[in-house]
Amino acid sequence: MQGERWLKFELAAALTKHPEISSLVLEDGYLANRRSDLSFVCEDEKYYVEMKTANTNWRVEGVENLHRPVTKNIAGIIENIQILNKLAPTAHGIAVFTIFPIPERLLNENQAKLNLHLDRIERVTNLELGSLRENMDYVPISDQYGLGVFVINVV
């Protein structure tokens, strides 16, 4: 949860510097008594943003082994996209999420493990198949691992 808070404030700080962004609100309410991570207005259009930081349980030297299965974190990403589809129909929805750590060896030798989870997100949320792989920015943290960053228009 702390990673999501940090990411939310970093994104909010970056958005406030953009000249076309106005009315940035943290924890803005949807129509149905729920709150988005943040919202903003750009070119007279309202955008709601849902964020998730999803740690994996892929073993990487130098990274603490956590016991929460990656499938539970993927379910959280799916839930955020479904929330945007359901609660932000009169505005634009953006899902922002990270998946980490992603071992370099996985990207180079066995992308099927990552694709399994990305494909699940796409199937369940009706995103275009292959869209997550196409839109992933891989950020290397070391020569052994990095993180996948995703920013997806949902609505």
Residue 147: give its domain's CATH number. Answer: 3.40.1350
Beta carbons of 97 and 53 less than 8 angstroms apart: yes
Q: pTM of the prediction?
A: 0.87
Bond into 101 cis (ω within 30): yes
Task: State CA 103 to chain mean position distance.
Answer: 18
Residue among 17, 11, 18, 63 at smallest CA distance from 26: 11
pLDDT in tens, the chain (155 residues): 566 788 899 999 999 999 999 999 999 987 667 899 999 999 999 999 999 988 886 666 665 565 566 788 899 999 999 999 887 667 899 999 999 888 888 888 888 889 999 999 999 999 999 999 999 999 998 888 899 999 999 87
Cβ count near 29 (within 10 Å): 13
Q: Token pair for residue 104? A: 């370099």
Beta carbons of 151 and 106 less than 8 angstroms apart: no
CA atoms within 13 A on the CB side of 55: 14
Residue among 127, 80, 118, 84 at smallest CA distance from 99: 118
- Expressed as residue numbers, the domain containing 12 is 2-153
Beta carbons of 153 and 92 less than 8 angstroms apart: yes
Domain count, the chain: 1
